[in-house]
C-alpha cells in the first residue's frame, strides 16, 4: 500500500504548486531517513521482538497519512509525510521478515 501512495504524492505536489526541485527532496525523503534508521530498527527487533517493530511501522504509516491529510499544502508537509511513510515501511518490512525468520522451518 505504501508504494501505491508514492506516485500520487508527486502529482499532489505539482498540483499545489510545489517547485519542481522539491519533487526530488520529497522522493529522497522516503529513503534517506529510513536508511539511517535501519540499523537501529534491527537492534530494536533483536532486543524487543518483531511485534514492537511491526506496531511502530503501522503507527508511523498512520501518522504519515494524518500529516498528509492535515498539513497545509506545500513541500514541507509532503516531505514530513514521505519521511514517516518511508520509516513506517522500513519498520514493517523488518518486522515482517523477522516474523518469517522466527517461524520458518529449519533447513
Per-residue pLDDT tens digits of the chain, which is 107 residues long: 555 666 677 777 778 888 888 888 888 888 899 999 999 999 999 999 999 999 999 999 999 989 888 887 777 888 898 899 999 999 999 999 988 988 887 76
103 to 15, 57, 91, 99: CA distances (angstroms)? 46, 20, 18, 6
Model-level pTM greater than 0.95?
no
What local confidence, expressed as pLDDT, does residue 4 receive?
A: 60
Report the distance separating Cα 88 and Cα 24, nearest Å. 20
Report the distance separating Cα 40 and Cα 56, nearest Å. 13
Q: Is 66 exposed, middle or buried (0-12, 13-18, 19+ CB in 10 A)?
A: exposed
What local confidence, expressed as pLDDT, does residue 90 receive?
A: 94
Amino acid at each position: 500500500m505504501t508504494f501505491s501512495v508514492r506516485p500520487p504524492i508527486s502529482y499532489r505536489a505539482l498540483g499545489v504548486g510545489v517547485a519542481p526541485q522539491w519533487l526530488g527532496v520529497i522522493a529522497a525523503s522516503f529513503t534517506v531517513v529510513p536508511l539511517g534508521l535501519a540499523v537501529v530498527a534491527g537492534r530494536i527487533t533483536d532486543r524487543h521482538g518483531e511485534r514492537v517493530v511491526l506496531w511502530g511501522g503501522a503507527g508511523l504509516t498512520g501518522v504519515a497519512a494524518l500529516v498528509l491529510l492535515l498539513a497545509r499544502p506545500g513541500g514541507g508537509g509532503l516531505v514530513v509525510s514521505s519521511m514517516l511513510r518511508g520509516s513506517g515501511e522500513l519498520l514493517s518490512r523488518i518486522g515482517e521478515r523477522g516474523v518469517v525468520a522466527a517461524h520458518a522451518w529449519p533447513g
